[in-house]
Structure 1
Amino acid sequence: MKANTVLITGASRGIGKATAEAFAQQGYQVLINFNKSEQEAVALYDSFKKKECSVKLFKADVSKRNEVEAMINFCVNEFGRIDVLVNNAGISQEKLFVDITDEDWDQMITIDLKSVFLCSQEVLRYMISQKKGKIINISSIWGMVGASCEVHYSTAKAGVIGLTKALAKELGPSNIQVNCIAPGIIQTDMLSSYNQEQINMFSENTPLMRLGSPWDIAMCTIFLASHQADFITGQIISPNGGFVI
């Protein structure tokens, strides 16, 4: 019997990379999706192959249906199945609300929210027929409580939360669990616009007195994908060190 398969969007860096590594360690067949970060994706793929992990690479802009459809079909053709989808791909931008352009808004909604719609819809063509599957969406604490100077990002991530809850209700009878992880402030490239003083302030305002790591989020994803989480659906789990309670 073949091992379970996971498809992770935006898997070349940060949370996506850590999540791919965690699933590979669990013996999953892993499809690494990337779009622009080819060098990082290839390096991750090579590291997996050295460890004799079952892994494939696929370049796709997950905000475009034709590319998403091709990616899902590739995954099923190569691995014979698809058990877990992790909708992780996304961007962020810090900008005053009055300065957000139409292009900024459209790009944020398309990449951070529409991609979740497209990938989930396409993967369900397989999951519904097999009466089994798990969809795990990566949102943000800012989708829960909003962030100043990140209105479009907060809006998109709040949309991911709403999509998760509604889709979980719809897919429950098909034995498909849909859950959402809303990370707190995590040490990734998304913090590059902040200086060290601001980052230290984030740590000081977190009850656990540290920022999160991509591995913290990856471990939560592994749990939601496991059989131990089979009775959990439509939930928003927020590993944030107590930053939002």
Structure 2
Amino acid sequence: MKLLSGKTALVTGASKGIGRGIALKLAEHGANVAFTYLSSVEKGQALEAELAAFGIKAKGYRSDASDFKASEELVNAIVSDFGSLEVIVNNAGITRDGLLMRMTEEQFNEVIRINLNSVFNVTKAAIRQLLKQKQGSIINISSVVGVKGNAGQANYAASKAGIIGFTKSVALELGSRNIRCNAIAPGFIETEMTGVLNEETVKQWREAIPLKRGGTPDDVANAVIFLGSELSAYITGQVLNVDGGMLT
């Protein structure tokens, strides 16, 4: 059963990892998919072809979500190319881990700019279109680290906690216009980023999780489908932990 047929979805930072998994799952459920990438044109083109194979319209945009003007241009281009924009997945993000005493101002500000400012930029740029349509679902990718904190990730935790506060505020502002805003807080999701960890570290992570396994991009993507579809029509302002019980 395709839950998003005929809708247009935007996924920022979709060339790899969780973002890529989300884009593919959206296409599987019938959504037309616009996505952004920043560094690899080849990966962007490859993903565009994979998405189109589902029989939907797909287009990749080389765009920096942390740039406000670029975000405005992006949304305008998507509306022009696709005709509408119903689902927004703010996924773009980076890490610059390090203990606070060694963390530079640049490392802190870069993570806030890319992880948090980008959510503001894209959401702000899309508001006019969502209000015009009188519908929309905004899904912001936070993290369990934004809920509980983590040593060595003060910048990342601050950015992801900020996303949660932003999400709840937007839900209150736009709920009366039939626009919903929720966040997903992934736990230990096994992607290219976690692939650099040694096996013993990964094993320790898995053992600490009640479900005894790391998550997959599909686990997060399934939550996106739920929050983007009518299955969650009466849900807004919430944080859905996709963490195998890590925060239980």
Q: Same fold (TM over 0.5)?
A: yes
Aligned residue for 2:79, secondary structure, equals: helix
Runs of 4+ in 1 over 4 A off after TM superposition: none
- In 1, distance between residues paired with 2:51 and 2:66? 27
- How many residue pairs get matched? 244
Q: Which amino acid aligns with 1:161?
A: I
* Structure 1 position 118 matched with structure 2 position 116: no
Q: Which amino acid aligns with 2:112?
A: I
For structure 2, the residue ranges without an aligned partner over 5 or more in a row are: none
Equivalent pair of 2:8/2:33 in contact (CA under 8 Å): yes
Equivalent pair of 1:135/1:179 in contact (CA under 8 Å): yes
Aligned residue for 1:189, secondary structure, equals: coil
> Cα deviation per residue 1:33-68 (whole Å; 9 max; x = unaligned)?
111132222111122234432101111010001111
Equivalent pair of 1:92/1:190 in contact (CA under 8 Å): no
Q: Which amino acid aligns with 2:154?
A: V
Counterparts of 1:86-235 in structure 2, within 5 Å, are 86-235=89-238
The alignment yields a C-alpha RMSD, in angstroms, of 1.1
Q: Which amino acid aligns with 1:112?
A: N
Aligned with residue 44 of structure 1, among 47, 63, 87: 47
- In 2, distance between residues paired with 1:143 and 1:50? 36
- In 1, distance between residues paired with 2:35 and 2:43? 11
- In 2, distance between residues paired with 1:21 and 1:167? 27
Aligned with residue 5 of structure 1, among 2, 5, 8: 8
- In 2, distance between residues paired with 1:91 and 1:192? 15
* Structure 1 position 237 matched with structure 2 position 240: yes
Aligned residue for 1:99, secondary structure, equals: coil
For structure 1, the residue ranges without an aligned partner over 5 or more in a row are: none
Aligned residue for 2:65, secondary structure, equals: coil
Q: TM-score scaled by structure 2?
A: 0.96
- In 1, distance between residues paired with 2:182 and 2:140? 6
Aligned residue for 2:186, secondary structure, equals: coil
- In 2, distance between residues paired with 1:48 and 1:174? 31
Aligned residue for 1:209, secondary structure, equals: coil
Counterparts of 1:75-86 in structure 2, within 5 Å, are 75-86=78-89
> Cα deviation per residue 1:13-41 (whole Å; 9 max; x = unaligned)?
11111111111011111002111132222
Aligned residue for 2:101, secondary structure, equals: helix
- In 2, distance between residues paired with 1:141 and 1:12? 22
Q: Which amino acid aligns with 1:85?
A: I
Equivalent pair of 2:190/2:214 in contact (CA under 8 Å): yes
- In 2, distance between residues paired with 1:134 and 1:50? 25
Identity level (%)? 39
Moved more, 162-171 or 42-51: 42-51
Aligned residue for 1:179, secondary structure, equals: strand
Aligned residue for 1:153, secondary structure, equals: helix
- In 2, distance between residues paired with 1:192 and 1:26? 28
- In 1, distance between residues paired with 2:30 and 2:188? 29
Equivalent pair of 2:25/2:221 in contact (CA under 8 Å): yes
Residue 93 of structure 1, CA deviation = 2.4
* Structure 1 position 26 matched with structure 2 position 29: yes
Aligned residue for 1:120, secondary structure, equals: helix
Aligned residue for 1:6, secondary structure, equals: strand
